Amino acid sequence: MQEMLSVRHELEALAIEYWHEVDANRGDKAHEFYTEDATFSTSLRTRQGHKEIQEFYQSRRQRGARLSLHIVQNFRIAKMQDKLACCNYILSLYAADGEPVLPSKAPIMIATVQETAERQPDRTWRYRDRTLTALFRDDTPTTG
């Protein structure tokens, strides 16, 4: 039980760090959170491997000023096996084009996130796959 709690803490912290990287640094190093052959699926498309994930975040930065906050809630480990952990949580996305301070609105998307993290030889975790499934959205376009 103690090991499961420790792993849960590590993986929840990893998810929060990942989305902080996306929000604070516009995803400049987001690809480093994934394994080389990882899959990242959003509501719009799937990206495979470091190169495609890195290109996705580069294209977001090239669009111009954008403010985003990805809020992680209800994090849980659904399954653990050997060096793999399957996790899921709710992601609330607040985002709009422009510089702060922007008008306050409800989240533009609330999604479930399902991800598989793989323990690396150096004992860190990297994402093997991540899938975002929108449950609620407004008409604000996402960059996914």
Residues 96 and 139: their CA atoms lie apart, in Å, by 11
Distance CA 113, CA 135 (A): 10
**Confidence (pTM):** 0.95
Residue 66's region, left for phi above 0, alpha for psi from -120 to 50, else beta, is beta
**Per-residue pLDDT tens for 98-133?**
999 999 999 999 999 999 999 999 999 999 999 999
Of residues 144, 77, 72, the one with CA closest to residue 117: 77
pLDDT tens readout for residues 72-92 = 999 999 999 989 999 999 999
Domains of the chain are: 2-137 (3.10.450.50)
Higher pLDDT, 99 or 142: 99
Condensed to tens digits (0 to 9), the pLDDT of residues 44-76 reads: 899 999 999 999 999 988 989 999 999 999 999
